[in-house]
Structures are given as C-alpha cells and as structure tokens.
Amino acid sequence: MKLRRSDRMVVISNYLLNHPYELTSLNTFAEKYESAKSSISEDIVIIKRAFEEIEIGSIETITGAGGGVIFTPSISDRESKEIVEGLRDQLSESNRILPGGYIYLSDLLSTPSILNSIGRIIAKAFRDQKIDAVMTVATKGVPLANAVANTLNVPFVIVRRDLKITEGSTVSVNYVSGSSDRIEKMFLSKRSLKAGSRVLIVDDFLKGGGTINGMISLLAEFESELAGVAVFADNAQEKREHLSYKSLLKVTNIDVKENKIDVEVGNIFDK
C-alpha cells in the first residue's frame, strides 16, 4: 500500500507504539508502504523528535545489517507525579476504609486509563533492568501485572493461592501470611515460566511482605531471578525485613475510629 509521508508517519508511529521493545527493520516499513528506505529514515527522525517532545518514549536506531528501530515507552516526570498525586488524593478518601483496616482499591485498579499510566510509571522505574516476565498473585494483582507487562511487551504469570485443575502440573511453596501468621501455600503452573527468566514481581498492596517473599522463593524453584518488586501501595506501619521494593503510594496511617487514611507518594521517584 503506497502512502503519503503524512499518512506514513501516523501509521509508523502507531506501529511503534504497539510494538514496544521490538526491533523492526526499516525495510519492513519500506516494503509495506512502498517507499524508499531513505524516506522511511526521514520519517523516523520526525517521529523520534515528536515522541521526545511529548515524552512518550524514545526511539533508538541500530545501524548495520541486522539493524532497525526500537521504541521504548516512557512517561515524563511531570505527568508521572501528577498521576501519582491524583491517586494519592483518591486513596485518601475516607470511604475506602473497610473493617479490619483494609483499604478498598478495586475501582482504581480496574480503570484502563489509570492502569496504563501505572504500567508506564513502573516500567520506567525499572528501565535499567532486563525483564523477561512480570509475576503477580491472583486476583487483585492481575490487572496491575497485565498493565506493566503490556508496557514492557513481556508475558505475565499468575501465582495462585488455590489449586486449579486447569493449570496442569504446578510447583508450590509455603509462605507466611503476614496478617494471620499462618503458613499458606501458593502455586504456579510448571509451564508458565521459563527457566532463567528475569522477573519483575508486582502486587497491589504490600503489608507484611509474606506474599512477595513467597513469590521470590517460587522464582528459585523455577531457576529464575528477581529483577525487582513494585507495589501500588504499601502500608508503612508494617514491619518488614530485608525487602527491597518500589511503591507508588505509601499508607502512613489508617485510623478506623476517625475514618481517616493518610497517604503519601511512595519511594518510586526516589533516586
């Protein structure tokens, strides 16, 4: 299909947005849109500049025979902070307190536009890490892991707290459920994670860290490595040992009597 330059720029930028972290050769575009490779090269220069101007990501050009372009999504610091501050304000709403000092999060973690932004913010925070897969635990973490995996263009794996027949063979580990101090089990389908993967663990709410530690010990069972831990919010009142993580939000106080939650921006923007 032969396209004009202006049209080509729209369709090539759309292609790159939908294929993050993938190397695409300029010949692919040249053939698809019946244009000279030099024209495509010029298109890329303009798209690269536009992407950088609005900080939606960078385009890297790799020269040589196996070369091409790779789009890495990003998000501006200003936009990230605005989004996280907006989430902090929403999380501070008093009607989120549930009996037992839990916090209702499901509305925030089921809105596509919020999830997309969170995905981009977390992906940016781990941009120096090679990540092959995103791991989370069912059910609440799934949309979050999905969003991060989407930005990173890698698969996500779902650890379960119950054993489902539809998963086939599973590997299980024991973990200490922090809230109850009980020993629980978690399961991961054997074929869902390749050995040697570098894995980013993502979860919605970090309390004692038992669930995260359970997932870390699962990684060892799969001969895989931890690339990092990211959570939507953590409870700063909990005691936790030796767990390194990045959080978007930090809950510093839940006052059930006064029906008040104190929330601050987490450590995700710390250098």
Nearer to a second copy, 53 or 271 (CB): 53
Nearer to a second copy, 134 or 268 (CB): 134
Interface map 156-185 toward a second copy (x if CB under 8 A): xxx-x-x-xxxxx-----------------
Residue 142 engages a second copy in binding (rule: CB under 8 A): yes
Residue 146 engages a second copy in binding (rule: CB under 8 A): yes
Residue 51 engages a second copy in binding (rule: CB under 8 A): yes
Q: Phi and psi of 187, rounded to 5°? A: -130, 140
Rounded to the nearest whole angstrom, what is the least distance from the CB of residue 131 to a second copy in the complex? Answer: 13
Peptide bond into 139 cis (omega under 30): yes
Do 114 and 108 contact (CB within 8 A), yes or no? Answer: yes
- CA 8/CA 6 separation, integer angstroms: 5
Interface map 18-47 toward a second copy (x if CB under 8 A): xx--------------------------xx
* 64 C-beta neighbours (distance < 10 Å), count: 6
- CA 102/CA 81 separation, integer angstroms: 25
Rounded to the nearest whole angstrom, what is the least distance from the CB of residue 5 to a second copy in the complex? Answer: 8
Of the candidates 64, 78, 113, 195, which one interacts with a second copy according to CB under 8 A? 113
Binding segment for a second copy (CB under 8 A), chosen from 81-89, 142-150, 224-232, 262-270, is 142-150
- CA 16/CA 257 separation, integer angstroms: 51
- Three-point CA angle 191, 148, 135, nearest 5°: 30
Residue 70 engages a second copy in binding (rule: CB under 8 A): no
Closest CA to 148 of 236, 230, 224: 230
Of the candidates 129, 191, 252, 255, which one interacts with a second copy according to CB under 8 A? 191
Question: Which residue carries 């695409």 as its tokens?
Answer: 24
- Please report how many Cα atoms fall inside a 13 Å half-sphere around the Cα of residue 115, on the Cβ side: 22
Nearer to a second copy, 161 or 244 (CB): 161
Residue 61 engages a second copy in binding (rule: CB under 8 A): no
Q: Per DSSP, what are the bridge partners of residue 176?
A: 183
Amino acid in position 143: P
Nearer to a second copy, 111 or 174 (CB): 111
SS3 104: coil
Query: Where on the chain is the footprint of a second copy (CB under 8 A)?
Result: 1, 3, 5-11, 13-14, 17-19, 46-47, 49-51, 53-54, 56, 98-100, 102-107, 110-113, 115-116, 138-140, 142-143, 146-147, 149-150, 153-158, 160, 162, 164-168, 189, 191-192, 205
